[in-house]
Amino acid sequence: MNILDLTNKLEKGKNLGGEIVYIKEENIIYGIDSVYKDQEEQSVTVLRSKDDTIKVDHFLTLLNEIYANLGDKEVLIGSKEYTRDSVREITSIEFAQYESSKMLFINI
């Protein structure tokens, strides 16, 4: 999924009340550790975390800054900083609510 598509879908989820972003792979939920832009490769990789995650507003700010620098590049999900062989494509964005918590899942 490209930066603009991801940003638009996250904005829609935010308008529904989504506050936090997680990565979901099958039945496993991960947080977001960091976002890397590779100017040489012209790509963006979001690294998943077992503990921490990020708020929707902060994630949108990061994506907008990267878009301003690189343009509309594909955003991939990775598990390690320097390993490009373990990156996965984003398939969809999902809104969920559990009690009072509203969250967005990036499905891979």
What is the per-residue pLDDT across 60-89, written as a single tens digit (0 to 9) for each?
A: 999 999 999 999 999 999 987 655 567 889
**CA 33: distance to chain centroid?**
10
Reading the block at residue 102, the tokens are 């509203």
What is the per-residue pLDDT across 32-62, written as a single tens digit (0 to 9) for each?
A: 999 988 877 778 999 999 888 999 999 999 9
The single residue listed with the structure tokens 């009072």 is: 100
pTM: 0.89
State the pLDDT at residue 82. 55
Q: How far apart are CA 20 and CA 29, in angstroms?
A: 12
Q: What are the sequence ranges of the domains in the chain?
A: 3-107
Confidence of residue 7 (pLDDT cuts 50, 70, 90): very high
